[in-house]
Amino acid sequence: MDFALTQEHELIRESAQKFAEQYILPTVRELDRKHESDPNTLKRMGEAGLLGIAIPAKYGGSDTDYISLGLVCEELEKADSTARVVMSVHSGLHCMTLMQWGTEEQKHRWLPKLATGESVGAFGLTEPNAGSDAINIKTTARKDGDHYVINGQKTWISLADYATHFLIICKLAETDAKAPYAAFIVDRNTPGFSSRPLKGKLGVRAGNTGEIFFQDLRIPADCMLGEEGDGFKVAMSALDHGRYTVAAGAVGIMTASLEASVKYANDRVVGTEPIGKKQLVQQMIASMAKGRDIGRLLYYQVGWMKNQGLRHTREVSMAKWVNCEAAFDAANKAVEIHGAYGFSDEFPVERYFRNSRGAMIYEGTHEIHTLVQAEYALGYREDKPLARNLPTYPFE
């Protein structure tokens, strides 16, 4: 078992770090205050090659492995959650699911432009009355000849106003199937599509989030991923991929919280010595370091399993659950160490705190993952082989 990152991994990490320092950190505080997103971020990420991470070269991607995607997510979230959310939605939920479930024709049709950022992918599962209970979605797809007609809406959709293509999960109308769900790739320029932004979020304020609507939206049948009845399987595969990127990003929040706290604890002097000499402060610092190191090992394991083509639903749920809780705890401790300054946006730790709270909700709430892990431990849940698997690395 080799825990060492390759030279290529280190170069990718360094590249993501430099991108964050050049394009994210200089404006993040202002954008966060204004609740505004920067549309140029997507373009810059495409130009830097970040949107092609973990996509095979034959589809126009960088031909890098899945661990590389995790490293990029960690470094981007260390600066701010916004760019990592782009990677989670575009690369994880959309592109990797397309790689797993798409036909060769579909992959060659969509992935090359997605890999360069000319197209941007998003994902739509959540609805106003269907969150963790995704089986209760109301958006319908009705077959009409060699087309499907879609009606309904999705909410809390990242990149709702910027994405060019949406992977959406629908309930099939007029069917007696036991699993009446299907997945489709929808082009935002299709008549019947519309979106609107959602404002006033607690965290990830510089990220675009919104609702998308489908009114008699008509798409060809060859825009379906998998077959009729595969929709829920596609959705669960997408969540596995998204959860991996969120788990990796959470390590970035832990690292940022730790580094900010170490600096402040060494600079802030009370009496005759820095507060870093106080044992209760040291206890919090040690807890952050512990969470960061454990979190890295958890997401590295999932990245390795992806490379090997192994199913990892339990492991990625564990990584997402543990890492996001640890990230929130680290950010909370960072605020505590900073005292009153931790309550001000003059220091970044209050933003880490707000952003980390969101990660305990999206891609499966902390309660859902608790139940999932209990079911695995008790033997109530067992993973079966998937009909289609993610390409193993090295790619063919």
Task: Give the residue numbers marked as catalytic.
Answer: 363
Query: Which residues, 6+ apart, have CB-to-CB distance to 176 below 8 Å?
Result: none
Sort 267 into a burial class: Cβ within 10 Å, 0-12 / 13-18 / 19+: exposed
Query: Which residues, 6+ apart, have CB-to-CB distance to 184 below 8 Å?
Result: 141, 148, 150, 167, 168, 170, 219, 223, 224, 225
Sort 145 into a burial class: Cβ within 10 Å, 0-12 / 13-18 / 19+: exposed
Sort 348 into a burial class: Cβ within 10 Å, 0-12 / 13-18 / 19+: buried
Nearest to 97 by CA among 246, 249, 224: 224
Buried b (16+ CB within 10 A) or exposed e, 306-329: bbeeebbbbbbbbbbbbbbbbbbb
Write out 341-367 in H/E/C secondary structure. Answer: HHHCCCCCHHHHHHHHHHCCCCCCCHH
Q: How far apart are CA 350 and CA 338, in angstroms?
A: 10
Q: How many other CB atoms are there within 10 angstroms of residue 10's CB atom? A: 12
- From the centroid of its chain, how far is CA 207? 12
Looking at the DSSP assignment, which residues form a beta bridge with residue 238? none
Pinpoint the alpha helices (H) of 144-230: none
Write out 133-154 in H/E/C secondary structure. Answer: CHHHCCCEEEEECCEEEEEEEE
Nearest to 211 by CA among 155, 164, 170, 165: 155
Residue in the block written with tokens 């749920």:
317
Q: How many other CB atoms are there within 10 angstroms of residue 33's CB atom? A: 12
Q: How far apart are CA 164 and CA 193, in angstroms?
A: 11
- Cis peptide, bond prior to residue 394, ω within 30 of zero: yes
